[in-house]
Structure 1
């Protein structure tokens, strides 16, 4: 049985970024207009007035300071407050495939091997642009990769589920290398008119090449163990789908965008993930407090800090518990991979780390790795 190695990673970051100050100004302009237009109903108690947002509220609640987006103008327009991403023709490369291809090409260049050695493409993301053809197959064609590809969606945990799937393909001997990509246009499913969540998400794409240890060269990361977990919950949900997206009554409804019960999610997910990490570490005989670095899902600074303390047994340093959500915000499945991609070059051979995700489903994934 072949062992899996994370051989290379790639990152695509949009050119446009929105600061908290810009986002708050746009939301407050919308809220002021809403309150003025519904002043009579608010006075009668039939409509709740919208509370202004603030930079202080956002940073205390999340730790987020900015986010990258594909379309800044559409998000910041109080009349629109959603990105304007024109639909492309069937013969054109889709926007999510384009993002994934950019991240993949960076990973392939770092890997230094021909794409002919890749046997499968997995596209793991929280939202897909269509039911079919699979986005993975479109990406596969754009990169000139043979073999097969398919999409998978486990919300914010999609990347770790993708790494686990790739490692299993390699262990079975099905392929020698797998490209796993995570294109996320999170701004398109965020309700920017909801004060409690209008700041959460950003857009990005990441790529990971998982290879057999039999063919891997020097460098990279040995995958020491992978574990997945799901528990059904309605506390994070998005009801948009092919059964309702054409119904006029469904257009613009809040539950067709991202919704969550944040306090319930924190209470449920943080202990579940902390216990899962500690329990899983015992399988490969690891001491979780001996981990050199945590690359956690970039959801919320408070969640990451709590999990870091529970796993490491002390207050983690910024080097031990990597945080990139201040600049990128929550990028769903891509968050832990962004952190891993940007903050691993300084580690020495033999150093241990953890890539971990958690999110809607609920879903959680852990990937223990060791620097080769």
Structure 2
């Protein structure tokens, strides 16, 4: 069947996949590393600090991290260099052009698990969307490399909407199926967020972790039993500088160098909290009304895993009461913020127990600002 002769379809989520790096960093380990860096920095600049020409760096603590975020640990691909006070960044051997790249490798692992869970062969897939916050390179597209590694005869492209990349990818895949341009689309989100985190910044050094997820979006006519009907999707963007990363091929200053801090993740956390919570809650409630869904009757919310406080307030505004762990599960405590993958991890790990007819919401929000909502219902 060729793409231009396909009939229009009804999109569903057939399965998801998850790759979790073997190594994890606890808050205790992270704080020990960070505080050693602080002590070395302050000792090396003791004269300037004493003269009032430089402010001393402040140490971090486990209590500060958990109060600020709810995070207790995070998985990373390269633990040792991140914890080394002389490096404090991920490092691994640069792979040759004839080798599978690091980002594609973890994306392929998640994709294969989603295909296996759906009982699907890679040859049945029409397209691959690599939806993630930061790509390993500009081109060739990571999606095309993942497509090649999986043996998919179709097309692929990359898309970046920061922490909302996966939900934006799901709507894009669903639109392909509705339009009849594909019957099976993989949305792969390999998030190596440790690479764009400033591990020397006390206010953010604890936030991110590495992971990869995959979502198989297909036409209902070929989907396995127990799939998730996509009832509707809603995307929203509002420009803001409150979460920003200025790294790029036109401006590649070293993070360790003068003026390099903004080439990594930076944010005005309090402003983000104040502005994003009402924006996302209003988007969810208004879209639920358009779809004829009572938001207070949503069985489960799989929210973006960035901050426990934000999720608590958003869930309360949507459900009309303080959400239980069953209604709004968290993976933030053990995975940290994994950017676009966070809500998909929560869905992957906390959805099997729902019954046919149960309705839920996958929702992400982040830099841009960007926000994406995917309303789903468990099929029989």
- Give TM-score scaled by structure 2 length: 0.96
- Checking the alignment, whether the CA contact within 8 Å between 2:255 and 2:261 is kept in structure 1 is no
Task: Report the equivalent of 1:206.
Answer: 213
Q: Give the Å deviation of 1:113.
A: 1.8
Q: Give the Å deviation of 1:249.
A: 9.8
Task: Report the equivalent of 1:315.
Answer: 322
Task: Report the equivalent of 1:280.
Answer: 287
Task: Report the equivalent of 2:355.
Answer: 348
Change over 3 Å in CA distance of 1:250–1:34 after alignment to 2: closer
Task: Report the equivalent of 2:277.
Answer: 270
> In the alignment, which of 151, 165, 173 is matched to residue 180 of structure 2?
173
The DSSP-based 3-state class of the residue aligned with 1:78 is coil
> In the alignment, which of 130, 133, 147 is matched to residue 123 of structure 1?
130
Structure 2 unaligned spans of 5+: 1-7
Q: Give the Å deviation of 1:252.
A: 7.2
> In the alignment, which of 299, 302, 312 is matched to residue 309 of structure 2?
302
- In 2: Cα distance, 1:6 partner to 1:199 partner: 32
The DSSP-based 3-state class of the residue aligned with 1:155 is coil
Q: Give the Å deviation of 1:128.
A: 0.3
> In the alignment, which of 33, 38, 46 is matched to residue 40 of structure 2?
33
CA deviations on 1:255-294 (whole Å, 9 max, x unpaired) are 0000000000001101100000000101210000000000
Task: Report the equivalent of 2:251.
Answer: 244
The DSSP-based 3-state class of the residue aligned with 1:103 is helix
Task: Report the equivalent of 1:333.
Answer: 340
- Checking the alignment, whether the CA contact within 8 Å between 1:244 and 1:250 is kept in structure 2 is no
- Checking the alignment, whether the CA contact within 8 Å between 1:245 and 1:251 is kept in structure 2 is no
Change over 3 Å in CA distance of 1:252–1:108 after alignment to 2: farther
Q: Give the Å deviation of 1:251.
A: 7.5
Kindly report structure 1 stretches of 4+ aligned residues shifted beyond 6 Å. 246-252
The DSSP-based 3-state class of the residue aligned with 2:80 is helix
> In the alignment, which of 43, 51, 55 is matched to residue 62 of structure 2?
55
- In 1: Cα distance, 2:266 partner to 2:253 partner: 20
- Checking the alignment, whether the CA contact within 8 Å between 2:253 and 2:260 is kept in structure 1 is no
Q: Give the Å deviation of 1:247.
A: 8.0
Alignment of 1:44-123 (within 5 A): 44-123=51-130
- Checking the alignment, whether the CA contact within 8 Å between 2:166 and 2:340 is kept in structure 1 is yes
Structure 1 unaligned spans of 5+: none
- In 2: Cα distance, 1:47 partner to 1:294 partner: 46
Q: Does the alignment pair 1:144 with 2:129?
A: no
Q: Give the Å deviation of 1:248.
A: 10
- In 2: Cα distance, 1:291 partner to 1:120 partner: 31
- In 1: Cα distance, 2:154 partner to 2:342 partner: 28
The DSSP-based 3-state class of the residue aligned with 2:340 is helix
